[in-house]
Amino acid sequence: MKITIKSTLVDIAPEVYQAVNYQTAKAIIEEHLKDSHIKDEDRKKMLDGVKKLNNLRQIQTYFSNALLKYEGMSLNNNK
């Protein structure tokens, strides 16, 4: 039996991709991560990564890569 794991990031993807500026996208991600059940190590890594970014395209790219990684679809499967 195959178990399917769904990333919690999927829940906020539409909001992040529809954000009109980087501050809004960053706030959506930070708020979600703060209240999520993601492992502390992963949460801290993502929050640190997002804090360093200052434009919408960078944040959306970072988010896309994180989403793929935690859905198990990244090219580098070293979580």
Residue pLDDT tens, the chain, 79 long? 665 556 788 999 999 999 999 999 999 999 999 988 888 998 999 999 999 999 999 999 999 999 888 766 656 655 4
Residue 64's pLDDT is what? 93
pLDDT for res 79:
46
pLDDT for res 6 = 65
Q: How far apart are CA 15 and CA 53, in angstroms?
A: 17
**Cα four-point dihedral sign 55, 25, 18, 70:** positive
- List the domain boundaries for the chain: 15-70
pTM tops 0.85, yes or no: no
| Residue 59: C-alpha distances to residues 4, 16, 47 (Å) | 27, 9, 11
CA distance 64 to 16: 10
